[in-house]
Amino acid sequence: MRKLFIVLFFMLLSKWAQSQQLERIEPMFWWVGMSNPKLQLLVHGAGIAKLSVQLNHPGVKLAKVHQVENPNYLFLDLEIAREAKAGKFPIVFTKAGKKKLQYTYELKNRVKEPSRIQGVSGKDLIYLLMPDRFANGDPGNDIVKGMRENKLNRDSMYYRHGGDLQGLIGKLDYLDDLGVTAIWMTPEIENDMTEASYHGYAATDHYKIDPRYGSLALYKKYVDKAHEKGFKIVKDVVHNHMGTGHWLYRDMPMKSWVNQWPAYTQTSYRDEPVMDPHAAEADKKKMLNGWFVPVMPDFNQQNPFVQNYLTQNNIWWIEYAGIDGLRLDTYPYNDPDYMKDWMQKIKTEFPTLSVFGETLVNSVAAQAYFTQGNTVNRGFDTELPGITDAVLKNALYEALNGNTGWTDGVFRLYATLAQDFLYQDASRNVIFLDNHDMSRLYSMVNEDIDKFKSGIALLLTMRGIPQLYYGTEILMKNHYHPPGLVRMDFPGGWPGDKADKFTASGRTALENEAFNFVRMLARYRKSSPALQRGKMMQFVPENGIYTYFRYLPEGGKQVMVIVNAEGKAKELPTARFAERMASVSAATNVITAQKLENLKIITVPAKTTLVLELN
């Protein structure tokens, strides 16, 4: 009997000990001096709701303790006074007045540097890469024990390949030489899923760098090194969903943490109901609240606890690492009211931060609907500065590949840009020709090097913030279906690769021709105020030729861009461009350095975009 009593006693003691576990507090630390004095801490641990909470730090008030459906959670509302000082203090968890658990919380001082959080603009060229597929600098973290996906297979497009942060750090000089000024990685936070999680869009921990990429400290080191070399950093963030492997999904604070349906319901992927004045509420709900795919639970962004968690997480990363810009994944799928509130909070804390949202929609009007200042028929301002300009991307391909017609070919490009009046400022849009979710440029122009160059010339001279997808500069190719084909490894990024295309000697003659063309224009762009921040004036296409100018109102060198997408050379009379050329006596071909003295008629080779600096 005595033995049975002892066994029962220790069983109860073990159960009580388990009920007092403190697994995590998020954000794990914060800063004094924030514009918003309110901070909500998420506390997670077995049975934590049974405990009371106390803290004592001058200027910090525990305003409210929230108990929710799941007894493994508490949410603590803190108010941090402006006069509060940085320092550490204990958060004490008690029961019946006795201390059971303690967490040492830290408030840090904000870093005050003029060059911190610079924002990205038309002065920049963004380089988009997938860290798993770019370069492997540390083979020791290729497979991490305990993670759900424990295979490395470079022969498969769906398994991890081993690229990491150290690999990217080792290639910063390559990017600098190319003329890149900003780096955007697909999400680098933990994606501990069973398979195909290399892309980063199925988060399983919002405060942790995926250990197969490196550590939190290494990420901070990467940002610091990039800043030292003159790069800006764009972080890719996802508000709409997480992965089913996320600890917050496996043990949800409440059922309403994600959008619930009687049966699994996938989003319609139709953005129209969000803006359609005639839309059925059922269609709008399916678009916004349906899950993206079965393994990506859809956050309920009308839940205030979810709102605080996501917003604070973004603020934490920006302040911790000194991020310069954010790219917002799947922007139209998010709750509009929440995203407006989110944008206001982000702008308040980081007025110089740049933000652009992914909007893969079908018209200029649809893109503009989601941007700042477009309040007509909507009733509120999203305050989103810019978007990824997929409609312009489609128009660029029509100009490169289409046949000239009243609304086709180069005229489609002209007409698309003519609708820039719908935006508050179209120069804040990110422009691109390819990315990780679509076919690559070289394949889209049927591996025609002249069309490739013409597309690059348009990308690097057009209004907006240009984005180059990794490997485009060395003619990496393939169409999107299946998606893995456009996410292949950068050759030379792995020890033992047959060719190192990070070097001129490892590239073919044609690849070097493409690389040098991109490099020439990218580096010229860094020295051209007209391309970086100038206005744009375009002329109606005639005879299959489209012409536009980039210039500064106050004067200085302007750039003339002439597009001939047709298969034969053409003569361009310039008399009708007098508004921009009246005082111009000569020009220089930016690529060839050839001087043009007679500008009355300019010969434009077939399938060519001429970039001329007017003197």
Q: Which residues are catalytic?
A: 329, 358
Q: Using alpha carbons only, give the angle 350, 353, 357 rounded to the nearest 5 degrees.
A: 120
Q: How many Cβ atoms sit within 10 Å of the Cβ of residue 50?
A: 15
245 close to 335: Cβ distance less than 8 angstroms? no
CB burial class (10 A; 0-12, 13-18, 19+) of residue 116?
Answer: middle
Q: Enter the DSSP assignment of 84.
A: P
Q: Helix H segments across 150-253?
A: 165-169, 172-178, 216-228, 247-250
Using DSSP's 3-state secondary structure scheme, residue 584 falls into: coil
Specify burial of residue 114 (Cβ count, 10 A radius: 0-12, 13-18, 19+).
Answer: exposed
d(CA 471, CA 384): 30
Record the tokens describing residue 325, joined without a space: 């810009």
Contact 536, 553 (CB under 8 A): no
Ranges of beta strands (E only) in 231-334 are 232-237, 325-328
Q: Which helix (H) or strand (E) holds 305?
A: helix 304-321
Q: By three-state DSSP, how is residue 1 classified?
A: coil
* Cα separation, 506 vs 360, whole angstroms: 36
Distance CA 106, CA 88 (A): 4
Report the C-alpha gap between 70 and 250 in whole angstroms: 12
Q: Whole-angstrom Cα distance, residue 606 to residue 268?
A: 43
For residue 547, the cross-strand partners are 539, 562
